[in-house]
Amino acid sequence: MARQELKIGVFGFGVVGKGLYEVMKQSPALDKAIKKICVRSKKQRDLPESFFTYNPDDIINDEEINTVVELVDDSEAAYHIVKKSLQKGKNVVSANKKMIAEHMAEMIALQKEHNVSLLYEASACGSIPVIRSLEEYYDNDLLLSVTGILNGSSNYILSRVFDNGQPYEVALKEAQTLGFAESDPTFDVEGFDSLYKLVILTMHSFGVVINPDEVLNYGISNISDFDINYAREKGFKIKLVGQVERLRENKITLFVLPRFVGRDKYIYAVEEEFNGVVIKGLAYDKQFMFGKGAGGHPTGSAVLSDITALMHNYRYEYKKTNYFQGFSYFKDAAIEIYLRYRDKEVLSHFDFQSVSEEYRGPKNSYVIGFIKLSSLMAIREKLRDKQLFIAATGKALNY
């Protein structure tokens, strides 16, 4: 197919927008392709004022602009920008994982209805081309699971806390200063960012639209010195991990939880703002993708890759939505967790199926045992209680 000339309208000029602009300057094929950048307010910027507009319609209604790059922070605003642009027949690149995860079905339908392409490689794992790989290379039924560190900020914090003994709050501030964290960093540290990315990866792994609200996500903000010491003594690191796994009978399970990770795992060595994704399948066993998961330039490079793909008329085919009779989301899978608590009243909320280890200490105690994901979902608000911390051990019951 012939190469398409792109005229680009960009929404947003924050960390990723600027990153994209700087990356594009190094790409002679595209360095003149941006026609307008829509921002919220006037500010001193390095680009001529004539580049900017404050009215979204200047891009949406510009017939010459055939490609919209949406890089705004607000997912509600992103939704309207992307929807209107697709309806206007423009191809779109977006990095907004919350918007895409929450509106996946509609976004797929809009692409079909208006015969346009929406690409979002930058929405999951920054510079790692995981979505396109799942879509194109792992486009058969051998795939068993996708497991990974999907959030750069929380990984940066955990690295600093574990390896440099830095206080959690200091590490979080650094992740913000370096432009890794979301404007509301609870998104990162409570596992929401990982959750949205996991939902997107699940679509491209198993062809299932999952409502993010129905998936367990639990982050790292309750981690204490006790937990860190426990992990260290056992030779583990604690990583925030998202996982989607194929079970028997066309079922899948997925969740985001901190996890004890031993040296034998690929993600053990993933530090700082890097992400790492382990893809497991029949016949090929395990493969590992590694790269920078956050920051203006790495994320900008993923956006650039999508823009280039649009030049060649690329679109996601969502082939896996047609597999077999489709996979269904099984919420009752049981996993083994470590629960650290202070007040033993906490235990009454946890419906453990079996307990393999228990420790009672003067200040902190813990239980290790199997519990259903659905029963953790039922107490998801309770899990935010500052008195406790949970982490997956990595063991699961085989369904």
- Which positions touch ligand HSE (CB under 6 A)? 126, 151-153, 180-182, 188, 193, 293-294, 299
Ramachandran quadrant class, 48 (left: phi over 0; alpha: psi -120 to 50; beta: rest): beta
Q: Where do we find the tokens 């209805």?
A: 113
CB of 79 to ligand HSE, least distance (A): 17
Closest CA to 374 of 214, 202, 181: 214
Residue 197 annotated as catalytic = yes
CB of 180 to ligand HSE, least distance (A): 5
CB of 379 to ligand HSE, least distance (A): 27
Cα separations (Å) of 342 from 174, 260, 366, 388? 30, 20, 9, 7
DSSP state of 266: G
DSSP state of 48: -
Query: With respect to ligand HSE, which residue has the nearer C-beta, 182 or 245?
Result: 182
CB of 298 to ligand HSE, least distance (A): 9
Query: With respect to ligand HSE, which residue has the nearer C-beta, 291 or 293?
Result: 293
d(CA 315, CA 34) in angstroms, rounded, equals 21
Q: Tell me if residue 392 falls in helix, strand or coil.
A: strand
Query: With respect to ligand HSE, which residue has the nearer C-beta, 150 or 339?
Result: 150
Neighbours of 398 (CB within 10 A): 8
CB of 96 to ligand HSE, least distance (A): 10
Query: With respect to ligand HSE, which residue has the nearer C-beta, 219 or 369?
Result: 219
Catalytic residue (choose from 35, 90, 97, 197): 197
Q: Check: CB of residue 180 under 8 Å from CB of residue 19.
A: no
CA–CA–CA angle 231, 243, 318 (5° rounding): 160
Query: With respect to ligand HSE, which residue has the nearer C-beta, 157 or 373?
Result: 157
- Please list the active-site residues: 197
